[in-house]
A and B are shown apart, each in its own frame.
Chain A
Amino acid sequence: DAGVTQSPTHLIKTRGQQVTLRCSPKSGHDTVSWYQQALGQGPQFIFQYYEEEERQRGNFPDRFSGHQFPNYSSELNVNALLLGDSALYLCASSHTSGRSYNEQFFGPGTRLTVL
Chain B
Amino acid sequence: AQRVTQPEKLLSVFKGAPVELKCNYSYSGSPELFWYVQYSRQRLQLLLRHISRESIKGFTADLNKGETSFHLKKPFAQEEDSAMYYCALSGRNTGFQKLVFGTGTRLLVSP
Query: A residues touching B (Cβ–Cβ < 8 Å)?
Result: 3-4, 31, 33, 35, 40-45, 48, 55-56, 58, 90, 94, 96, 99-109
Question: Would you call B45 an interface residue if the criterion is a C-beta within 8 Å of the partner chain's C-beta atoms?
Answer: yes
Tell me which residues from 75 to 110 in chain B have a Cβ below 8 Å from any Cβ of chain A.
Answer: 86, 88, 90-91, 95-104
Q: How many A-B residue pairs have CB under 8 A?
A: 60
In the complex, what residues of A have CB within 8 A of residue B62's CB?
A: none
Closest to B97 in A: A48
User: Which of A48, A56, A101, A106 counts the most B-chain CB atoms under 10 A from its CB?
Assistant: A101
Partner of B98, one of A3, A42, A45, A99: A45
Q: Give A41 to B86 CA distance when docked, in angstroms.
A: 10
Give 1 or 0 for each of B20-56: 1 = CB within 8 Å of chain A CB: 0000000000001000000000011110010000000
Contacts A4-B43, A101-B91 supplied; 13 other A-B pairs, CB < 8 Å: A3-B43, A33-B98, A35-B101, A41-B104, A43-B101, A44-B101, A45-B98, A45-B100, A48-B97, A55-B97, A56-B98, A94-B97, A103-B49
> Sorted from nearest, which 10 A-B pairs have the closest CB atoms?
A42-B101, A106-B44, A101-B90, A56-B95, A45-B98, A43-B101, A42-B103, A106-B43, A108-B43, A101-B32
Interface size grouping (class) on chain B: 20 to 34
**22 A-B contacts, Cβ less than 8 Å apart?**
A4-B43, A31-B97, A33-B98, A40-B9, A41-B104, A42-B86, A42-B101, A42-B102, A43-B86, A44-B101, A45-B98, A56-B98, A94-B97, A100-B32, A101-B32, A101-B91, A103-B49, A104-B99, A105-B45, A106-B45, A107-B43, A109-B43
CB distance A40 to B98 under 8 Å? no
Where the two chains meet, the residues of B that have a C-beta atom closer than 8 Å to any C-beta of A are 4, 9, 32, 43-46, 49, 86, 88, 90-91, 95-104
Partner of B99, one of A3, A4, A43, A105: A43
Report Cα–Cα, A44/B3, bound state, in Å.
Answer: 11
Residue of B nearest to A50 (CB): B97
Q: What A residues does B103 contact at CB under 8 A?
A: 40-42
- Chain B contacts of A100 at CB under 8 A? 32, 96
